[in-house]
Amino acid sequence: MYDVIVVGARCAGSPLAMLLARAGHRVALVDRASFPSDTMSTHFLWQRGAARLKGWGLLGQLQASGCAPIRQITLDIGPVQLTGIGPAVDDVAETYCPRRTVLDALLAETAVQAGAELIDDFVVADLLWSDGRAAGVRGHSARSPAESSLQAAMVVGADGLHSTVVRKVAARAYRSHPPLTAVYYSYWTGISHLGAAFHVRPGRLILTWPTNDNRTCIYVAWPRQELPQVRTDVEGSFHAALRLVPGLDEAVESGCRDQRFAGTGDLPNLYRESAGPGWALTGDAGHHKDPCTGMGMSDAFLAADLLAGAIHDGLTGRQPMDDALACYQRRRDRLTANGFELTLATARLAEIPARHQAFYQAAAEQPDLASRIFGVLGGSIPIADL
């Protein structure tokens, strides 16, 4: 019998399990994958996400993995280029772009070190219920059809956008917007000089960022309705987008792509009910948005932190569990609302109005203002403040 079963052991589930285990609770952390393993992701950890890693004692380990800090980002909107970085958060001034093979393995290992029991290669088929409350999970090993059950006072779905827990508790989306973009990305060696950049063009968004092993990840977004055409020639469509930025395609061609393209058009923007009798949702299972602003992992860390506190309060009797979980959902929604609106605006890939171009031109000559723009992009400064 566990206090909490966390379904999904990536960047929302593992930190949650770690925090609960550190607080003295008995936690099972289950995932259909084993670690290290990859998953589709934007990689970005803005300062607020990196600051949480530092607070958890993990930022040094991430750096030691070969994930170099990023101290400068370029925002290129065509007529204007801004260079800078957002304000520090809790004394963390840099951003990071780790591979998920590295980050997720580090987080899962830390959860185990804290006392959580990691059960990998485990496929959750259903939830157990008792008196109308979630009371555990039923599933089987990925290597065997023989079923087994795990019981707990609390079940958390941290198993992504297409969460099994979401389906089993019938969590509804109460705020949603259909997908706005389709994306493809891959990795190159030999082009680390490109650095971290957001290249914004009408109908296109091109991101470059350095990641582990001296590789550079390059990401292109198109309007969602163009996905069928892009799929007919991914590489051709990709390089056609790169040619919109002077010199970028030639720089990329000078390197070597050493992995296949990964991509999707399944990028809805939504909030789901994330608290119910004996269950909760965190990470992409409860709140998902377009990856164009790279906020997903930082938001997953935020939600894990908030939910760990709520569950701890419920388990220790500081607050009725259902009240604590409802408070968690409200706080998560309030703290991510700014990023949700910014992401929707960005993902429309619309032409930047002339008045905004003039604003960016002014910011290019004022480093403090440029820094605040990057703070808005990273989700640490509200748009209204800017």
259-268, pLDDT tens digit by residue? 999 999 999 9
Among 244, 264, 284, identify where a domain stops.
264
Q: Are residues 155 and 255 in the same domain?
A: no
Within a domain: 186:
yes
Distances 189 to 206, 256, 349 between C-alpha atoms, Å:
18, 5, 28
Work out the percent of the chain whose per-residue pLDDT is above 90: 94
Q: What is the pLDDT of residue 384?
A: 84
Give yes or no: residues 23 and 103 share one domain: yes
User: Are both 111 and 29 inside the same structural domain?
Assistant: yes
Say yes or no to pLDDT of 269 above 90.
yes
CA dist 44 and 217 (Å) reads 11
**Backbone region of residue 235 per phi and psi (left: phi > 0; alpha: psi in -120 to 50; beta: other values):** alpha
Helices (H), the chain: 13-22, 47-55, 59-64, 100-114, 164-169, 227-232, 234-242, 248-253, 296-315, 321-347, 354-364, 367-378
Question: Residue 385: what pLDDT?
Answer: 83
Last residue of a domain, one of 234, 264, 294: 264
Q: How far is the C-alpha of 87 from the C-alpha of 263, rounded, in Å?
A: 31
Same structural domain, 104 and 201: no
Q: Is residue 381 part of a domain?
A: no
Q: How confident is the model at residue 371 (pLDDT cuts 50, 70, 90)?
A: very high
* pLDDT tens-digit readout, 220-236: 999 999 999 999 999 99
Summarize the confidence of residues 98-119 as an average pLDDT: 98
In a domain, 314, yes or no: yes
Question: What is the pLDDT, as a whole number, of residue 379?
Answer: 86
Q: Which amino acid type is present at position 104? A: D
Give domain status of residue 366, yes or no.
no
CATH number of the domain bearing residue 16 = 3.50.50.60
The predicted structure's pLDDT at residue 267: 98
Secondary structure of 340-367 as H, E, C letters: HHHHHHHHCCCCCCHHHHHHHHHHHCCH
| CATH number of the domain enclosing 207 | 3.30.9.10
If one counts the domains in the chain, the total is 2
Q: Within this chain, do residues 279 and 250 fall inside the same structural domain, yes or no?
A: no
Residue 127, pLDDT > 90, answer: yes
Q: Is residue 63 part of a domain?
A: no
Q: How many residues does the chain have?
A: 386
Please report the pLDDT score of residue 145 as a whole number: 83
Q: Which pLDDT does position 144 carry in this prediction?
A: 80
Digit-coded pLDDT (tens) for 128-182? 999 999 999 999 987 888 899 999 999 999 999 999 999 999 999 999 999 999 9
Residues 347-362, mean pLDDT to the nearest whole number = 93
Q: Which of 82, 110, 95 is nearest to 16 (CA)?
A: 110
pLDDT at 268: 98
Which pLDDT value is given to residue 204?
Answer: 98
In a domain, 323, yes or no: yes
Q: Are residues 28 and 170 in the same domain?
A: yes
Q: Are residues 303 and 203 in the same domain?
A: no
Task: Name the band, by pLDDT with cuts 50, 70 and 90, for residue 345.
Answer: very high
Average pLDDT over residues 31-46: 94
User: Of 295, 206, 287, which Cα lies nearest the Cα of 246?
Assistant: 206
CA atoms within 13 Å, Cβ hemisphere of 104 = 24
Average pLDDT of the residues in 254-281: 97
- Average of per-residue pLDDT across 289-307: 97
How many alpha carbons fall within 13 Å on the CB side of residue 4? 34
Tell me what pLDDT residue 250 has: 96
Is position 187 within any domain?
A: yes
Q: Do 164 and 285 have their domain in common?
A: yes
The 3-state DSSP class for residue 212 equals helix
Question: Residue 266: its pLDDT value, please?
Answer: 98
Q: In the prediction, which pLDDT does 382 show? A: 86
pLDDT in the model for residue 130: 97
On the question of pLDDT at 210 being above 90, the answer is: yes
pLDDT of residue 95: 97
Instruction: Output the pTM of the full model.
Output: 0.96
> Is 97's pLDDT higher than 90?
yes
Q: How far apart are the first and last CA of the chain?
A: 50
Distance from C-alpha of 251 to C-alpha of 331, rounded to nearest angstrom = 44
Q: How many CB atoms lie within 10 A of CB 218?
A: 25
Q: Is the model more confident about 385 or about 262?
A: 262
110 and 35 fall within a common domain: yes
Strand, coil or helix: 258: coil
228 with 165, same domain? no
- Asked whether residue 9 is assigned to any structural domain, the reply reads yes
Question: What average pLDDT is seen over the chain?
Answer: 96
Same structural domain for residues 26 and 113?
Answer: yes
Range of the domain at 135: 2-43+99-175+270-347
pLDDT of residue 142: 79
Among residues 233, 264, 295, the one where a domain terminates is: 264
Looking at the predicted structure, is the pLDDT value of residue 346 above 90? Answer: yes
pLDDT digits (tens, 9 = 90+) for 3-13: 999 999 999 99
Say whether pLDDT at 291 is over 90. Answer: yes
Residue 193 has pLDDT above 90, yes or no: no
Query: Where do we find the tokens 């000559």?
Result: 365
Whether residues 108 and 17 fall in one domain: yes
